[in-house]
Amino acid sequence: MPADAFSAPGRFFRGNLHTHSNRSDGKISPEEVCARYRERGYDFICLSDHFMPKYEYPITDTTAYRTDGFCTILGAECHAPATAAGEQWHILAVGLPLDFPPNLDGETGPQIARRCLDAGAFLAIPHPEWYGLTTEDAASIPGAHAVEIYNHTSQVRQSRGGGAYYLDMLLAGGRRINALACDDAHWLVEGDENRDAFGGWVMVKAERNEPAALVAALKAGHYYATQGPVIETIAVKDGHIEIACSAAAQIIVVGRASRNEAVAGFDLTRARFPLGKFSGSWCRAMVVAQDGKTAWSNPIYL
């Protein structure tokens, strides 16, 4: 049984799904944001400005910056009160219509999440470590497709960019949800405004580099997340998981609690592990390069 992202038709496209411009609290214009990602070799981005009244509820229109090889998806980072910690909700919605309505009076985080899903968006839970989300928070938005397993800005600016523990707690509780790596760039790091960009992205397997195909592939889980390492393929067959990748220092499979299989070395490009200890549950793969940069698969259910 192959893992879906690697058996799906099409090819992999590189994209960032979470970033900001001066339409909200980013430093540079939407046109410049698109230009920087395009020049770095990205195939697509979603410019997800903060959907808040003080910014006049922007769904930033980036359609003018599309080219034959570069696609933009409309979206936003939506907000409403309040998480279990009393924080304002942050909900990433990729694939919203340009006329998505502003917040309704008294609207809660779960309610705006539902509106985003009803509008056709791919919905993610961003930077859970950064602002201390609980699993109860996640339970209140059951339609979310993914958790940010890595948020580059939160790592660069606060050293709170992780999400793996949060993802695994949800999976251990029976939730089926995927993993996302994003920049969340604001272009605000003094002396190097690119420092919080180009650090985490998704590789989406789709037949076309256009919004509908990319959003459909994201919802189907046909992607993996990475800081740089390449996962060439993952296949499950004959009671084993087989992984092929770019040169790595570690290839790891983890599951519920402490369950894991791993190999370490130099310039590893393949690994094959038995799946017995993960049977009846889930596992996910990671590829770690010599410099510590990581790629993450979505969970595989066994």
**Residue 219 and residue 216: Cα distance in Å, rounded?**
5
Answer with the one of 225, 255, 288 that is the final residue of a domain: 225
**What pLDDT, on the 0 to 100 scale, is given for residue 3?**
79
**What pLDDT, on the 0 to 100 scale, is given for residue 272?**
98
What pTM did the predictor assign? 0.97
pLDDT digits 0-9 by tens, 221-250: 999 999 999 999 999 999 999 999 999 999
Between strands 260-274 and 71-78, the pairing is unpaired
Distances (CA, A) of 89 to 103, 131, 249, 268: 13, 9, 37, 41
**What pLDDT, on the 0 to 100 scale, is given for residue 190?**
85
pLDDT digits 0-9 by tens, 74-118: 999 999 999 999 999 999 999 999 999 999 899 999 999 999 999
**What pLDDT, on the 0 to 100 scale, is given for residue 2?**
63
Dihedral, CA of residue 138, residue 143, residue 148 and residue 149, to nearest 10? 80
The CATH number of the domain where 141 resides is what? Answer: 3.20.20.140
Do 220 and 242 belong to one domain? no
**Residue 233 and residue 122: Cα distance in Å, rounded?**
24
pLDDT at 254 over 80: yes
pLDDT digits 0-9 by tens, 22-75: 999 999 999 999 999 999 999 999 999 999 999 999 999 999 999 999 999 999
**What pLDDT, on the 0 to 100 scale, is given for residue 269?**
98
Answer with the one of 194, 225, 256 that is the final residue of a domain: 225
**What pLDDT, on the 0 to 100 scale, is given for residue 175?**
97
Q: Is 175 exposed, middle or buried (0-12, 13-18, 19+ CB in 10 A)?
A: middle
Do 84 and 118 belong to one domain? yes
pLDDT at 257 over 90: yes
Q: Residues 227, 181: contact at Cβ < 8 Å? A: yes
Residue entry with tokens 């995927």: 178
The CATH number of the domain where 253 resides is what? Answer: 2.60.40
**What pLDDT, on the 0 to 100 scale, is given for residue 91?**
98
pLDDT digits 0-9 by tens, 194-219: 999 999 999 999 999 999 999 999 99
pLDDT at 277 over 70: yes
**Residue 252 and residue 271: Cα distance in Å, rounded?**
9
Q: How many structural domains comprise the chain?
A: 2
Do 173 and 278 belong to one domain? no
Domain span at 105? 4-225
Answer with the one of 206, 225, 244 that is the final residue of a domain: 225
Which of 75, 65, 38, 52 shows the shortest CA–CA distance to 184? 75
